[in-house]
Amino acid sequence: MKEIGGYIEFENYFGTVYHEGAVALNCGRNCLAYLIEAEGIKKIRLPYFLCSSVRNVCLKYGTEVSFYHIGKDLRPIIDSDLAPDEWLYIVNYYGQLSNDEVSTLKQKYSRVIFDNSQSYFQRPAEDVPTLYTCRKYFGVPDGAFLYTAKKLTRDIPRDESFERIHYILGRYERNAGEFYKESSDNNHFFADEPIKQMSKLTYDLLRSYDYDRIISRRTENFKILHESLNGINKLDITVPEGGFMYPLYIETGSEIRKKLQQMKIFVPTLWGDVFDTCDKNSLEYNYAENILPLPTDQRYDGEDMGYILEKLEETGVL
């Protein structure tokens, strides 16, 4: 029976989500799980430079996994042909792969999945299953989008987010450290979660954002850092639209990360699982250890980018 009256709940928004028409799911790893089930994927080739959660999804669903290396330019190195029933999983690191490159890989290997977790505003390449995650870009506790021509026909339950949004609301009014454990626990929560539809709360929040402003701010922040750091950055990168984070690769990255943390500039170590799966002399190990993903998101402006550059100068990087 419908409820009418009583106290007012969370507000409904009436904008559009950026990925209108895509399959809206509870998390990025379940976008892959959805594809494995819908396409009947039995074999897949993953990059070594990747978190274990993707591999674990494949193993959970009985998909045979093999691996490939990436080059210095963050592009895949495929040194052997794919098996007739094998899929290729490509990660768009820091939004550096263009759709033209993806289409070329699609033409060559046929069965390609594109992970745009770090390029939320890059539209999918034609006929390439493409996934996006929301938590890396917005203050939401979950959510992901998947573009795929092959849809599941079974009923999929809807997720609920109200019990997991506390740390996001908490940081809005207090400091990040106070809610760090909750944030970390939420990241681990999805390890065993089944495929679910995106929650009403997350979907509603995604209808509230001014995406033009977010894209503009992220792009401008990325440009500001790039103009000052391009000369010392060992990565040859382009400026993507609405970039994820600025990847500063320097030989002393792990040391500088610690110094920045002491200055309350929090720079994550991405793909830390590489330390357990790759040789210390490998490019993947080096990248995980020494790439500094500097924040460039919509919370910040040019003055904040100047502050980051000032602190980098204090550490001796500049």
Q: Give dist(CA 106, CA 82) in Å, integer.
A: 12
Q: How many CB atoms lie within 10 A of CB 254?
A: 15
Enumerate the domain spans of the chain: 23-206, 211-314
Amino acid at 46: L
Residue 273 CB neighbours (<10 A): 18
> Coil, helix or strand for 90?
strand
Beta strands in 116-254 (DSSP E): 130-133, 144-147, 245-249
Residues 197 and 156 sit within 8 Å (Cβ to Cβ): yes
The first and second tokens of residue 96, run together, are 């550096």
Cβ 274 vs Cβ 284: under 8 Å: yes
Q: Each residue of 91-119: b (16+ CB within 10 Å) or e?
A: bbbbbbbebeebeebbeebebbbbbbbbb
Cα distances (angstroms) measured from residue 52 to each of 161, 270, 281, 296: 24, 11, 20, 26
Domain with residues 23-206, CATH architecture: 3-Layer(aba) Sandwich (3.40)
Between CA 110 and CA 88 the distance in angstroms is 9
* Tens digit of each residue's pLDDT, the chain (318 residues): 889 999 999 899 999 999 999 999 999 999 999 999 999 999 999 999 999 999 999 999 999 999 999 999 999 999 999 999 999 999 999 999 999 999 999 999 999 999 999 999 999 999 999 999 999 999 999 999 999 999 999 999 999 999 999 999 999 999 988 999 999 888 888 888 999 999 999 999 999 999 999 999 999 999 999 999 999 999 999 999 999 999 999 999 999 999 999 999 999 999 989 999 999 999 999 999 999 999 999 999 999 999 999 999 999 998
Beta-carbon count within 10 A of 271 CB: 22
- DSSP letter (8 states) at residue 199: P
278-284: list long-range contacts, CB under 8 Å, 24+ apart: 278/48, 282/48, 282/69, 283/69, 283/70, 283/71, 283/72, 284/48, 284/49, 284/69, 284/70
Enter the tokens of residue 23: 């399959």
- 299, containing H or E segment: none
Helix 180-189, helix 166-173: angle, nearest 10 = 160
Which CATH architecture describes the domain 211-314?
Answer: Alpha-Beta Complex (3.90)
> What's the pTM value of the predicted model, to 2 decimals?
0.96
CB < 8 Å & 24+ apart, contacts of 271-278: 271/49, 271/50, 271/51, 272/51, 273/50, 273/51, 273/52, 274/48, 274/49, 274/50, 277/48, 277/52, 278/48
Dig out the tokens for 97 from the structure. Answer: 């792969």
